[in-house]
Each structure stands twice: as structure tokens, then as C-alpha cells.
Amino acid sequence: MIGIDDEIVAHMSNPNNYGRIEDADSIGIGENPQNGEKVIIYINVQKQEESLIISEIAFEAIACMTTVVAGSIITQEAAGLTFEKAGELIAVTLGMLEQVDPEQAACSEMVAVALKAAIDGYILSQEEGEKKTLIYKIEQSCNPETAFNSQEEK
């Protein structure tokens, strides 16, 4: 279980960026294939010189409260970042998963891969000229004994 302090209570009672962006530039989904839990990330993107910037971000979670907290924290950090910096944020988040308990790891991974799916989906959409919603499945498991690796695109 996550340790709870005032900051975590604030994320639980009023998560940052919770909701959806109508007609978002890109939507990415992170999914736990074991229990069907999902995180949906919506981003709007601005082009500034050579960089692509996440100008607006929102998320929805069909998942537990720990995922909502992870979504609140990670989307808050991702707002305003360039795709390059957001990629670093995703890498750092995924790199830290072994240091936290399995449930928390699965929740954080679900948010991180949803953000990655939104970014990758935006890039793919620009290349192919039509919007693509990517779904990335997580590798961590709330229950480590049944963990497996899987990733898919739609």
C-alpha cells in the first residue's frame, strides 16, 4: 500500500488534470492486461521552433486510487514539457519501478506507458496524416508471480 501523507491526500481528493480533452491532438492508453484496468491520456501539442510541446494534458483512470495518484503526479510533471523531456520523464518513471512495491509499480507504469502511447500516437498521426490511438500494455503486475511481457499497438 502507498504511504499516505498530506500531499497524497491532496492528489486523491483533487487529482491534477483529471478529465478529458475534447478533440485532443492525441490520445494514448495504458492497459493492465491482467485486470483490464486502464489509463487514458489526452494531450494537446504545440510546435515551438524545432520542438513539440505538451501544451495541455488530461487523464482518466479506470483503475484504483494508487493509479489516480500516479496520474496526478506524472501529468503534472509532463505538462509543458517538450516530447524529448517527456520521454526522459517516462524513462525515469519506468526505471524506478523495481524500487517500489508491485501494485504501485503497475500503477505508475500504466500512466507512463499511456503518456508514451499519446506521444508516439501523435508522431505516427503526423506521419500518416490521420489520428492514431495507441494502446500499450504494461509489463509489471500487481501480482508479481503472474507477471508477463506484452505490448501491442492498435
Partner 1 sequence: MKNLLIKTHEVWLETLMASFMSSSVESRQVLNDFSDILFRHFGWIEEKLVEQKVEYDYNREPIPIKVDSLVVIVNNIIERLGTMELMLPFVEDEALRFRLQTDWDYIKYKLATLEDEVVTAFSGKRTYKDLQLSSEATDALTLFLFEESYKEYELIMIYNYLKAHSSDDYLNKIFQILVDESFFHLKSFGEMMAQMGILGVPRVVHSSLYQVEDVAEFLKDGIDEEIAAKEQCKELSDAVVKEAEELAKFFDFINYQENYHIALMENALKHFKSKGSV
Length in residues, the chain: 154
What is the total count of residues that contact partner 1 (CB under 8 A)?
A: 20
Of 27, 57, 61, 134, the one binding partner 1 by CB under 8 A: 61
CA angle 42, 116, 146 (to 5 degrees): 110
The CA distances from residue 38 to 60, 127, 142, 152, in Å, are 8, 26, 13, 14
Binding mask 115-144 for partner 1 (x = CB under 8 A): ------------------------------
Q: How far is the CB of 154 from partner 1 (least distance, A)?
A: 15
Q: What letter does residue 18 receive in the DSSP assignment?
A: B
Is 60 in contact with 40 (CB distance < 8 Å)?
yes
CB of 5 to partner 1, least distance (A): 9
Q: Which residues bind partner 1 (CB under 8 A)?
A: 1-4, 6, 9, 12-15, 18-20, 40, 60-62, 64-65, 68
